[in-house]
A and B are shown apart, each in its own frame.
Chain A
């Protein structure tokens, strides 16, 4: 079969004759495939930076506060990337520490959340009685977990990880069990008609029809966990982590350093979301639809 670039097929002047074929293989330009999404990210970043710039100008000139501008922040970031220490550690060490805590906390939330969600999704009675508790957990704001974490685990890493896990847990449970419950009746009936038992229906019909919803829950959980980092690292007690740096920067009035930390947190969050999750979602969507 002849291979035509897709752009040729769509070319209004030249491509018309190509439509005489019934089927065709096409090649999408690789550059476009990567460049397009990247372009959108760049544009949205640019918008953020422009707004940030004007807010900073307003802060500096009208309010007379040392509001870090995008340039200053980026400059400081680059010097940190080149090894400038922040509270005695490099920015990489801070980032690594935060990522590790988040990884552990999120993994705990994923495993326990999905299992809990499957458990609750398996029966309407469980769903009705236990789900309200999960909704309440979901409503607890990030900062409010601090006293709870301190009381249970005391000052230290475990508390931080607990907070990350706690905030990521509820959305995962809710979306998992919701997805299971929302499996279309006709699929379940078709499976029953074909002789499938409860376990088969649960694993081979309800679970796959819940998969996208589960991923959605993971995505919300991920964002929750990452966002609570700052609050969670208030109680690390060890001088390491991006959240810890923000809090320290606030005390020492080093706003630039705080902004650098915020920037790094946002960028890493965006990267995880865009790479890991988009890929995962796409793969699952391909499998499921």
Chain B
């Protein structure tokens, strides 16, 4: 279980000599195996929140507890898929995916097997020997997802992972993610700009507002899975989030 309690974070802009509150008083509890989506306008602090949970950055105020223990730094049980390209450009796809496995001292043949499995899963098999610069933006993102999934983390922190995919691929990857989530019992926190994607995936949707970054709406999505984009409930919820709650407008 993840508990984010009264967390605030400010950034200091040294050039302008001004501070800026990026997140204010965030409270959030994510149950084990829950799938949570975060949506909100650009710059509202989604990445900041995710990075604090991952342990890359420290909150100024409040506490972040994972299974009752304070988060002190990143670790392989909190797998992160970064918003920007994070593959090591000097390694091919296979070596990138194997990196984390190697670091953890997994046997060489096992590394190969696990890495291949996830590369296959994201559909990059014929590109396993390609260097990142030979891949398109979407393919890089897929490789990064394979690399994180290969760690078999307890919690997945995904920062707009499918933003650069075409619609069809995105739907396929969404479904793959749901399968992995169901099968391997993971907690997922998934940031997206796409309300439909959030509705199709999430147990719960958190809507954030910016300046300062706050969670101002929580929506339990009770629609049974599998969900269909044009089913009445989905369309209705989409309308509610867009029009009544006005997400991405505050």
A187 touches B88 (CB 8 A): yes
**What are 9 A-B contacts with C-beta separation under 8 Å?**
A189-B82, A190-B82, A192-B74, A195-B104, A196-B99, A204-B99, A208-B90, A287-B90, A289-B90
A204 to B88 alpha-carbon distance, docked (Å): 10
The answer to whether residues A193 and B90 also contact, given A186-B84, A200-B103, A289-B131 and a CB cut-off of 8 A, is: no
What are the residues of chain B within 8 A of A200 when measuring CB–CB?
A: 103
Task: Please report the C-alpha to C-alpha distance between residue A190 and residue B56 in the assembled complex, in whole angstroms.
Answer: 10
**Binary A-proximity of B47-81 (CB < 8 A = 1, otherwise 0):** 00000001010000000000000000111101110
Which residues of chain A are within 8 angstroms of B90 by Cβ–Cβ distance?
Answer: 208-209, 211, 287-289
Interface string of A184-204 (1 = CB under 8 A from B): 001101111111110010001
CA distance A196 to B78 in the complex (A): 13
- Chain B residues whose C-beta falls within 8 Å of the C-beta of A131 in the assembled complex: none
Contact status A289-B79, CB under 8 Å: no
- Chain A positions within 8 Å of B76 at CB level: 193-195
Q: Which residues of B contact A (CB under 8 A)?
A: 54, 56, 73-76, 78-80, 82, 84-86, 88-90, 99-100, 103-104, 131, 133, 147-148, 151
Q: Given the known inter-chain contacts A186-B84, A189-B56, A193-B54, please indicate yes or no for A288 contacting B89, CB distance below 8 A.
A: yes
- B6 CB, min distance to chain A CBs, angstroms: 25
**Among the listed B75, B85, B88, which residue makes an inter-chain contact with A193, where contact means beta carbons less than 8 Å apart?**
B75
Cβ contacts under 8 Å, B84 to chain A? 186
Tell me if B131 and A194 are in contact (CB < 8 A): no
Measured between alpha carbons, how far is A192 from B151 in the docked complex, in Å? 12
- Complex Cα–Cα for A44 and B74 (A): 54
Q: Would you call the interface of chain B mostly helix, strand, loop, or mixed?
A: loop
Chain A residues contacting B151 (CB-CB under 8 Å) are: 194-195
Is A205's CB within 8 Å of the partner chain B?
yes
Residues of B close to A190: CB separation below 8 A:
80, 82, 86, 88, 147
Residues of A within 8 A of B (CB): 186-187, 189-197, 200, 204-205, 208-209, 211, 287-289
CB distance from A189 to the nearest CB of B (A): 5
Q: A193-B80, A195-B76, A196-B103 are in contact. Are A187 and B86 (CB under 8 A)?
A: yes
| Contact, CB under 8 Å: A205 / B88 | yes
B88, B104, B131: the one within 8 Å of A208 (CB)? B88
Is A195 a contact of B103 with CB atoms below 8 Å?
Answer: yes
Q: How far is the CA of A215 from the CA of B104 in the complex (A)?
A: 31
Known: A208-B90, A288-B90, A289-B133. A193 touches B99 (CB 8 A): no
- Across the interface, do A189 and B89 meet the contact criterion of CB distance under 8 Å? no
Q: Could you say which of A189, A195, A287 contacts B100, with CB atoms under 8 Å apart?
A: A195
What is the bound-complex CA distance between A42 and B242, given in angstroms? 66
A138 CA to B82 CA, complexed, in Å: 39
Not counting A186-B84, A191-B103, a sample of 14 additional A-B residue pairs whose C-beta atoms are within 8 angstroms of each other reads A186-B85, A189-B56, A189-B82, A190-B86, A193-B54, A193-B148, A195-B75, A196-B99, A196-B100, A196-B103, A197-B103, A208-B90, A289-B89, A289-B133
Which residue of the partner chain A has the closest CB to B131?
A289
**A109 to B86 CA separation, bound complex (whole angstroms):** 34
Q: In the complex, A221→B73 CA distance in Å?
A: 40
Chain A to chain B: the 4 pairs with minimum beta-carbon distance, closest first: A194-B100, A288-B90, A195-B76, A190-B86
Cross-interface CB contact of B86 among A186, A195, A211, A289, cutoff 8 Å: A186
Nearest CB to that of B80 among chain A residues? Answer: A193
Q: A136 CA to B56 CA in the complex, in Å?
A: 36
Contact B82 A186 (CB under 8 A): yes
The residue on A at minimum CB distance from B79 is: A193
Q: Which residues of B contact A194 (CB under 8 A)?
A: 76, 99-100, 103-104, 147, 151
**Cβ of A208: which chain B residues have Cβ within 8 Å of it?**
88, 90
Most A C-beta atoms less than 10 A away, residue of B56, B84, B88, B100: B88
